[in-house]
Structure 1
Amino acid sequence: MLLGVIADDFTGASDIANTIAKGLPGQGGLRTVQYLGIPSGAADPAVEAGIIALKSRSIDAGLAVRQSLEALRWLLDQGCEQIVFKYCSTFDSTPTGNIGPVAEALAEALGVKGVVACPAFPGAGRTVYQGHLFVKDRLLNESGLQNHPLNPMTDADIRRWLQLQTVSDVGHVDITTVHDGAAAIEAALRRNGEANRVLVIVDAITDDDLVAIGRAAALHRLVTGGSGIALGLAANFIERGLAHGTVAGTLPVDGPEAILAGSCSGATREQVEIHRRNHPTLAIDVTGVMEGRVATSDLTSFLLANQGRAPLAYSSSTPDEVQAIQARFGREKVAATLDSLFAETARELVSAGVRRLVVAGGETSGAVVSALNLGALAIGPEIDPGVPVLLSEGSDPLALALKSGNFGAPDFFTKALERLAGR
């Protein structure tokens, strides 16, 4: 294994797995496998990039550090030359969040400083300019992410946000230096390391910027960022003759289908609204769930009764509705109860023969795949930027699409089911 990734949620893991497996145009990527948690045994020797999906984004920081260091040890044991710590392209965390502590702990374990920190993903509208994170033409804190139910992002200056989470000073490499090329970027990172800055926010507004950053970090032991930071990493190994470049592909899976949406992002709510015009949908009564009046059987009965019609069950609500429910029942209790509901629903659906499953929302996806205990997932073709087809191992495979809340085109749900079936 050449490249190892530690991802802080399951949709983020499939996002960066897609980037690495796809590689650069005309060159191909690495043979990539996504692991749902830390494997208990050694990896297949044919795997060139291993992605460990953790559910560590919103847990206690100390626990997130311990899990990430355990993942690091496994990846190093597989022979990884470079490690990527992957977090959300919207930098989802709180002022006491986990990005800083985990990144610093990994850097200390690897003995490195001047480490790239770049959440940019231009293909999904996330760019970093002068240390500020934008979502399309809006500053992060004006993009709707300020209303995130678990990690409200209220400051677009991610240097300042990251500094709240770290012990060492946070550095910055501006866009002018990035446009000067890989050598200039590498020199700037080295200077930051010599100044004892562990993490360095690096500006990026285009894919070419990310490729240049990747080339600058070709020999760095640790890189951190969103999935975009991996755009050029596969190419580094291919150009050094350590990998030959492959094209992602999986066998299609047809059969019974279901869609579960737990994200409350604006993109997911739009996707739900479009899907419900032509397909059966079930709006989950969250208050009913919290009061015990809505159960797993209500969801599974609806979804199984509507097989062949792309049925959707969703808890997606407006920010005001989410805040009202959280105020009444408690934020953590609501999140845990909905995670449990979706997890048990997924288990029952798969037991009943569902073979194509689309899940929207990072926390929801984490709950679902943890409940299904699928092990390793093969990475297939891209559905939309950041979202690939995933295929479980075994004689009766399950095809999955795990979508981060803000990802995907308006018609994503229908498109995803078609792609899972190879259409």
Structure 2
Amino acid sequence: MSAPIANHAQTAKVNLLGLPEEKLVAFFETLGEKRFRATQVMKWIHQLGAESFDEMTNVSKTLRAKLVECAEIRAPEVVEQMDSSDGTRKFLIRVEGGSVVETVFIPDGERGTLCVSSQVGCSLDCSFCATGKQGFNRDLTAAEIIGQVWIAAKSFDQLRPGGPRKVTNVVMMGMGEPLMNFDNVVDSMNLMMADNAYGISKRRVTLSTSGVVPALDRLNQYTDACLAISLHAPNDELRNELVPINKKYPIAMLLDSAKRYIESLPDNHRKITIEYTLIDQVNDRPHHARELAELLRDVPVKINLIPFNPFNLSNYKRVSNNAMRRFQEILMEEGYITTVRTTRGDDIAAACGQLAGTVNDKTKRSERYRAQFTKAEPVRILAP
């Protein structure tokens, strides 16, 4: 998977925030220390929110001094924290290089879901997603990914003895395509689920992918997190327009890979979550719902319908409530568990599909989209 950690004396300081347990053990072995030191330090960082080695009172002064010389605990910088009227919280987080990514916390009763970003921008170009319009800069490091969980937990005073457990679920559904940043995402998810870190259940950590099939085919070797597929269309012709990676990995190939992943898990009762963003007059017609029901007939799924959330640089429109309700009814009549995602945080541009951040775009894609959008081209209906 990831390259082994180089000798600390030959490199810059190692950021311990992003190291999963086995890599933290390997790091301490290079210092001539026993593996229990990794457990101690991991708990201090992820369960108690330590920002310096001086706080680690059960670690010897000698080791703490050694750590100061060769290691650090460095989270990305919070530029701004925005709170919605519905309780949603968005963090604008500056990462190395100056770009800003977004992380969103969504409360729902006793459940608190954190939507985490994996890339600066997105290397894909889905037509209905604000992130894709921003272009792409780079993958986030493991420290920058797990740092989003660390920041959110600290903001709710969760990282202290007896602190309230606000972040109960994590979804890799923020900016970027997680499977295009495989090693760092896997390391981060393993930290989320580690007993000595955040201890989040494997049923409460979800990776969402648009369909990077080769990476999905090897995912079960490294994690047993839950899986969500960003489908958004019931056929290849329409999905090619909405999710361009479909041209390389079409729906049948993607669903076969997803089935193999879910069937490989020791827990045989889990389902794949199918995410389907409904766009007015594009993919929201009753015949789309019936086609989707037929497509998924032999796949263990539950379906999450997401109303399109408008943003700048898009001419798509939000689905009507009637069309949304009819689409859901058809799927439920066909026997599918079908939920509608409540739009949360749209007053702070934190709703699904709205995350954009500030990307130092290497692709020039953002410039092209702005030029195209000024022409005010009408929305094209992609299917009859």
**Normalising by the residue count of structure 2, what TM-score does the alignment of the two structures yield?**
0.30
Larger radius of gyration: 2
**Normalising by the residue count of structure 1, what TM-score does the alignment of the two structures yield?**
0.28
* Greater relative contact order, per chain length (Cα 8 Å cut-off, separation 6+): 1
